[in-house]
Amino acid sequence: MTDDVAERIWRLVFDADGDPDPAVLADLKSRIPAAGLTDLIIFSHGWNNDEAAATSLYNRWFGLLAPQLDPARTVGFVGLRWPSELWRDEPIPDFPAPAAGDAGGAAALGDDVEVPAGPVTIDPAQLADLKDMFPDGKEQLDTIAGLLAAPPSTERLPELFVALREFSAATQTGFSDGEADSPEAGPGMVATDQDPEKLFTTFADELAAAGVEFDDGGGGAAGLGDIAGRLWQGAKEALRQLSYWKMKNRAGVVGRRGLGPVIDQLHTDFAELRIHLVGHSFGARVVSYAIAGMSDVQPSPVKAVTLLQGAYSRFTFTERLPFRNGAGELAGMLNRIDGPLTVCFSSHDRALGTFYPLASAAADDDAAAVDDPLFRWRAMGSHGAYSSQTQSLGATGAVYPFQSGQILNLDSSAVVAKDDGPSGAHSDTEGGLEPPRPLIGH
């Protein structure tokens, strides 16, 4: 990265309610005119562990992006920070694995390498992380951790499921994307009609399909070879996915109540500044819901929105839903973008292709959809935006039919393919950087 680019990488910080840090926002506002910016790229991370990881991600990503931009423009870069948490045993490509007592377990899987499932207990450091992230659910988290630490028993599955439901209720926030029948609906995985044994079995089976090895009964440390032990592993994975689902909802709050109003402020103070939004994973939901949180100013200061492995419903912008009467939560909002919305998706993203719909779906919902029983719950980052123009991400110099106020899906499976764990290529955020992107030039 050149020194010139490094001097134009700044921050925006939001809390869980979407309130910006006033000192950080004031600092950004002071730097924009001093740098003589014509354009500002705002990028939101998805799951994230700490400030150091966020800083490293943004520095590397902006350093790769900067040489591709129009040299006639002066571009600033902003990396968002908002409260989201990556479990400690979940690897990120090209990042060292974080230290944790259960690292090397179920989520620490590499390319085509089978690893033991690891302990079913929740590591104390991980439990502390979850309590910091969800302070209203501390009591329920202690209950879940205690149940997982006890000898696995099929008789206690209902108790464990109830504890997950109570954690979900205690930490309820945000809103659905329109795929649920109610805007306040919780994740289908904790619906009252779920069968705990079936639910936990499904999660355990998907871990096994991703390469996680369960003990075959040879006397593993946690006795994971028996059915109950396998179900306990499925229950732990259910908690992981439930916590991620909660962070997805929080992302919408941060976008609508936080980033959207900040964009209004920036436009008021710097009327000619062109803003470009980029989001990865839950961060894609942050920048998408920012469109709903900003004023409907024409022409919009937002000139492009680029979504990388978006961890939210592919039906969010849909005008007429194919599975019930109604529209997606952000239907009609594309006119607030004075440029294209680009959705990069990959078939190698297991976090979104497998675990996201399992966490979102209600028991036996859409079972009549024979071709795809999870159709209703598919994500942007695994399948692209519903009923939108789609083409493959091409080589350097490829031409794309970008249109203002229109969605273009780019199948990035050929480049977003680095398989690091049960999440697959979900965190392969650098795989698709070489081809041109609709960030600057409109």
Is residue 294 very low, low, confident or very high in pLDDT (cuts 50, 70, 90)?
very high
* Predicted confidence (pLDDT) per residue in 311-361, tens digit: 999 999 999 999 989 999 999 999 999 999 999 999 988 888 888 888 887
Q: Please give the model's pTM, rounded to 2 decimal places.
A: 0.89
Asked if residue 266 has pLDDT above 50, the reply is yes
| pLDDT value of position 356 | 84
Asked if residue 103 has pLDDT above 60, the reply is no
CATH fold for the domain made of 3-85+253-411: Rossmann fold (3.40.50)
Dist CA 341 CA 38 (whole Å)? 20
Asked if residue 100 has pLDDT above 60, the reply is no
Is residue 408 very low, low, confident or very high in pLDDT (cuts 50, 70, 90)?
very high
Looking at residues 53-79, what average pLDDT do you find?
A: 91
Dist CA 382 CA 372 (whole Å)? 14
* Domain range annotation of the chain: 3-85+253-411, 115-247
How distant is the alpha carbon of residue 158 from its chain centre? 29
Q: Of 325, 428, 334, 331, whose CA–CA distance to 61 is shortest? A: 428
Asked if residue 225 has pLDDT above 70, the reply is no
Residue 329, CA distances (Å) to 62, 170, 336 in order: 30, 24, 14
* Predicted confidence (pLDDT) per residue in 31-64, tens digit: 999 999 999 999 999 877 678 888 888 998 899 8
* Predicted confidence (pLDDT) per residue in 1-33, tens digit: 677 888 999 999 999 999 999 999 999 999 999
Dist CA 58 CA 41 (whole Å)? 11
Is residue 248 very low, low, confident or very high in pLDDT (cuts 50, 70, 90)?
very high
Q: List strands edge to edge, sheet with 341-345.
A: 9-13, 75-81, 39-44, 274-280, 302-308, 341-345, 407-411, 389-392
